[in-house]
Structures are given as structure tokens and as C-alpha cells.
């Protein structure tokens, strides 16, 4: 639940990009993906949990391999929303990295790789949108949400989206 508290912190911090509206958009996107793929909520939660456990180390590795001057936070920001630029996706997640993600998520969830491949752009965009909520409105400031994710904090994104849904739709 630690990362969800970081998300709430970004919503409450006027110097960060997070807002309830952004969280609601992300949660609705995940809900729509769940419906479009015909999977239940717990399966989609497993997909995001697996993605988080794989993405943390992959992004950390990609961060150290980015071409000179490339900003990981900026690339993550470019991946948010539908129609994310292909160049940002390819820079952060070249085809071989995408295949690692697909295979790893398929192995952890039991879903077939074709289904994961179809979901991957939306999953990556949702994760990027979530991480971008911690981006600062001040130039040159770090993104504490992205930093916590990269430094091996709680990377269970399935829990983050589950708690987001509970936060947005209290019983």
C-alpha cells in the first residue's frame, strides 16, 4: 500500500502533477481494458502486479542506458495517455524488452502471450500515467514517485490500482 500513499501524496502536493481526476482517468482506463479483454478484475490486478515487479528493474536498467541527456522522467511523461509517441515507447522499451515483459507477465499470470501483447501498450501507458503523477511542476525537480518505484519501493501496481478503485468508489 506504500506506493498508493505516494500517489495520494502527489495528489495533495501542489508542486506535483497528481490529481484525483488523473487517478480517476487511469482507473477508468484500467476498467475499460479489463472489460475489453474479457478478464476479471483480479486477473487484471495480477497483470499490473506482474508488470510492476518486472518494470522496476527494467526501467532502472534502461535509465542507465539512455542516450546522453535523455531524461527518464520526460520519457515516462511522454508515454502517458492514449496515442503515446512510438519513439518514447521504443526508447524505453525496445522490442526485446517488450518481449521480456510479455513473457514475464504471461509466466506470472498464466495468460497467453498474445493477450499480454495486445494489452501491453495500455498497461505501459497506465503505469507511465501513474508514475508521472509524481512529476514536479518545478523545472529540474525530481519525481519522488518515479524515484521510489525505481529504487525498489513497493512496485505492486496491482495493489495501487485496487486501492485507487476503492478510494474513488468507497462502499
At 121 the pLDDT is: 84
At 59 the pLDDT is: 78
Count of domains in the chain?
Answer: 1
At 37 the pLDDT is: 92
pLDDT beneath 70, residues of the chain: 1, 62-72, 74-75, 77-89, 91, 153-154
Which domain covers residue 160, as residue numbers? 2-168
DSSP assignment letter at 38? T
At 80 the pLDDT is: 65
Amino acid at each position: 500500500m506504500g506506493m498508493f500513499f505516494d500517489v495520494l501524496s502527489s495528489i495533495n502536493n501542489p508542486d506535483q502533477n497528481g490529481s484525483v481526476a488523473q487517478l480517476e482517468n487511469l482507473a477508468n482506463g484500467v476498467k475499460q481494458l479489463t472489460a475489453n479483454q474479457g478478464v476479471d478484475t483480479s486477473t487484471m490486478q495480477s497483470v499490473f502486479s506482474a508488470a510492476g515487479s518486472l518494470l522496476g528493474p527494467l526501467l532502472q536498467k534502461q535509465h542507465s542506458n539512455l542516450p546522453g541527456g535523455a531524461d527518464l522522467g520526460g520519457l515516462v511523461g511522454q508515454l502517458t495517455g492514449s496515442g503515446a509517441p512510438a519513439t518514447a515507447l521504443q526508447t524505453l522499451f525496445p522490442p526485446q524488452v517488450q518481449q521480456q515483459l510479455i513473457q514475464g507477465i504471461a509466466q506470472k499470470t498464466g495468460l497467453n502471450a498474445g493477450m499480454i501483447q495486445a494489452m501491453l501498450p495500455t498497461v505501459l501507458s497506465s503505469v507511465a500515467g501513474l508514475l508521472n503523477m509524481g512529476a514536479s511542476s518545478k523545472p529540474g525537480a525530481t519525481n519522488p514517485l518515479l524515484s521510489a518505484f525505481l529504487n525498489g519501493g513497493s512496485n505492486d501496481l496491482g495493489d495501487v490500482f485496487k486501492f485507487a478503485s476503492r478510494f474513488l468508489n468507497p462502499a
